[in-house]
Amino acid sequence: MISLICCTNNLKTYEEMLLNSLKAQNIEYEVVLINNEGKQYSSASSALNAGAKLAKGEYLMFVHQDITFQDPCFLMNIIKHIDNLNGIVGVAGSLEEKGVVTNLRQGAQKQLGGELTLSEPMKVQTLDEVLIACHRSVYELVKFDEITCDDWHLYGVDFCLSAAEKGIESFVVPDEIYHKSSGKISLGYALSLRKVLKKHRKTFNKIYTTCSVSSTKPLRATQYVAGLIWDHVIIGR
């Protein structure tokens, strides 16, 4: 069985999108819902780790509340990908300088969420947090870092990097979903990125995410994060 773990701050959105979409799936699943409307959890890492403790499935999928699956075989396909690839899978990720790889569509206009589409699984450095799935044994080996990622950003990126340091690879798979939100860079994102860059500096020269590409070298990392804050928080581009 696969367990879907979702932290929600809007039950209506969750019910209308993720929950309603799940009704068409053709295999057994469970949903572990972490209701954070009262802001009990201060970070995605802590909320999702709490959800994983409650999950009963052999496979774990961490998902956003505002997505819908386009195929009734989606969950079954994800399990097959996990077994075949023996790694972490998602629906959007970053492939070095080439850009974001995904078949995901997002926003009101349902635009493609990246520069590159795919017809078969593709290895990437990191996955977008919209959907990340793996075997329970992989999660237990890595888990979400509640200290480095103490906000609502980059917990999936850090998860993939930590897994890579243990020899576990990450892949974007071609299965399509719709994501209502297109996301944006915030102060929280920039501050979380600074901590992720510092944590993985010894292993990676650059870290690629679906929103940013940065060197991990101290000076360049500081300059890059400062630029993000200036462009997206102060000026508001």
- Per-residue pLDDT tens for 60-99? 999 999 999 989 999 999 999 999 999 999 999 998 777 8
Residue pair 178/110 in contact by the 8 Å Cβ criterion: yes
Does pLDDT of 150 surpass 80? yes
CA atoms of 182 and 224, how far apart (whole Å): 22
Torsion angle, alpha carbons of 170, 175, 177, 183, to 10: 30
Structure tokens given for 184? 């944006």
pLDDT score, position 205: 95
Q: What is the end-to-end Cα distance of the chain in Å, rounded? A: 43
Residue pair 4/29 in contact by the 8 Å Cβ criterion: yes
pLDDT score, position 183: 67
Residue 158: band (very low, low, confident or very high) from pLDDT cuts 50, 70, 90: very high
pLDDT score, position 229: 77
Model pLDDT for residues 188-209, shown as the tens digit of each residue:
888 899 999 999 999 999 999 9
pLDDT score, position 25: 96
**Cα dihedral sign for 11, 15, 21, 23?**
positive
The region of weakest confidence among 156-160, 179-183, 216-220 is 179-183
What residues are paired with 116 via a beta bridge? Answer: 101
Does pLDDT of 222 surpass 90? no
Does pLDDT of 235 surpass 80? no
Written as one letter, the residue type at 161 is L
Q: What is the mean pLDDT of the chain?
A: 93
Written as one letter, the residue type at 212 is S
Length of the chain measured in residues: 237
Does pLDDT of 176 surpass 70? yes
Q: Please give the domain boundaries of the chain with CATH numbers for all domains.
A: 2-182 (3.90.550.10)
